[in-house]
Structure 1
């Protein structure tokens, strides 16, 4: 199990990005959370099996994640963080 802390830069607010990230995470059985930040970026933490995380990150890095043409990701800042207990985190959700 691995966990990533991610900041997404680009056109990621007001375009359904959090909804899209949640749907992609559910597809790959990734747990965690996503939220908008006041500076226009989106922050998230994602946890899952290494090969599923790789697929999740590939989808986020694609030109049109979730086939949403309104989203534009200019840069993803990704760092490794310690995993959390899977019993403490169910699913993937937006936080406010």
Structure 2
């Protein structure tokens, strides 16, 4: 299992990005959280199978909603897990 800290930049707030991110994470059996940042980006912490994490980032990069426009994704990978029980949207 692996863990990634992800920051997505672009038009990613107010377009259903967090809810769709949660749906994708649950489909891929990833655990963690997603939240809006004050600078307009979205921050994600996800853990699970490395192949699932890669697929997750690929889907985020495509813009998971029709109104989202992803400009850049920053990723930091970790070997350790936090032990999240589910994937949730943080306020």
TM above 0.5, yes or no, is yes
State the distance in 1 between where 2:86 and 2:44 align.
13
Residue in structure 2 matched with residue 79 of structure 1 by the alignment? 76
Determine the C-alpha separation between the residues in 1 that align with 2:55 and 2:87.
16
Cα RMSD after superposing both structures: 1.0
TM-score of the superposed pair, with normalisation by structure 2: 0.93
Return 5+ residue gaps in structure 2 as ranges.
Answer: none
Matches of 2:58 and 2:41 in 1, distance apart?
Answer: 19
Corresponding residue for residue 86 of structure 2: 91
State the match for 1:21 in structure 2: 21
Query: Which residue is 1:57 aligned to?
Result: 57
Tell me which stretches of 4 or more aligned residues in structure 1 moved more than 2 Å: none
Q: Which structure carries more helix by proportion?
A: 1
Task: Give secondary structure in 2 for the equivalent of 1:38.
Answer: coil
Where does structure 1 lack aligned partners over 5 or more consecutive residues? none
Query: How far apart in 1 are the matches of 2:41 and 2:61?
Result: 15
CA deviations on 1:25-55 (whole Å, 9 max, x unpaired) are 0110010000001110111100011111111
Paired residue total: 90
